């Protein structure tokens, strides 16, 4: 019963978009935390998508795409996972992107989803690493 009440309260915080803002959320950070806190992966995806729509310029939107990626992966929703991965990677700075490529490649391969995309991301991670200057070389 407690879980049901908790889920309903969180859902009510997120499902009412009014004037481009999530009801009851004080800031975009509050809205992101509430969306990310949804226990059910399908509900989390929906809440995070609503967060991104309501706060497209938020600093948390890249993390929201990452969270959608992992939730979609857990539900084996390959197309959504690949879309979210691409949006997440696009949110990263050039300096962070290599780790992102590697992270996405590994988790796709580990879950046996999007293996062609996993191979492409692994190649991008290697290409990114080759651009780095090593001390003493």
Pick the range with the lowest mean pLDDT from 10-19, 83-92, 102-111, 118-127.
Answer: 10-19
DSSP 22: E
Q: How far apart, in whole angstroms, are the C-alpha atoms of residue 73 and residue 84?
A: 10
| Mean per-residue pLDDT, 72-87 | 98
What three-state secondary structure class fits 64?
helix
Q: What percent of the chain is modeled with pLDDT above 90?
A: 72
**Residue 3 pLDDT:** 54
End-to-end CA distance of the chain: 62
| pLDDT score recorded for residue 132 | 86
| Mean confidence (pLDDT) of the chain | 85
- Whether the CB-CB separation of 73 and 104 falls below 8 Å is answered with no
pLDDT at 134: 76
Reported as a single tens digit per residue, the pLDDT across 5-17 is 444 444 444 444 4
* pLDDT at position 4: 46
* pLDDT tens for each residue of 33-55: 999 999 999 999 999 999 999 99
* DSSP strand pairing (21-22 vs 17-18): antiparallel
Mean pLDDT, residues 29-35 taken together: 93
| DSSP one-letter string for 61-80 | HHHHHHHHHHHHHHTT-HHH
Q: Collect all residues with Cβ–Cβ distance below 8 Å to 77 and sequence separation of at least 6.
A: none
Arithmetic mean of pLDDT, 56-76: 97
Q: Where are the domains of the chain?
A: 17-91, 94-137
- Give 3-state DSSP helix, strand, coil % of the chain, rounded to 5: 70, 5, 25
What percent of the chain lies above the pLDDT cut of 70? Answer: 80
d(CA 84, CA 98): 17
């Amino acid at each position: 019963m407690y879980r049901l009440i908790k889920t309903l309260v969180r859902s009510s915080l997120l499902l009412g978009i009014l004037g481009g803002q999530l009801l009851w959320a004080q800031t975009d950070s509050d809205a992101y935390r509430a969306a990310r806190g949804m226990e059910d992966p399908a509900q989390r995806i929906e809440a995070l998508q609503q967060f991104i729509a309501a706060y497209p310029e938020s600093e948390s939107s890249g993390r929201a795409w990452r969270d959608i990626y992992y939730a979609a992966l857990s539900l084996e929703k390959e197309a959504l996972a690949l879309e979210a991965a691409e949006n997440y990677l696009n949110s990263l700075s050039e300096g962070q992107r290599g780790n992102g490529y590697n992270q996405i490649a590994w988790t796709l391969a580990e879950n046996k989803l999007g293996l062609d995309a996993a191979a492409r991301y692994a190649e991008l991670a290697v290409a990114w690493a080759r651009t780095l200057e090593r001390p003493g070389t």
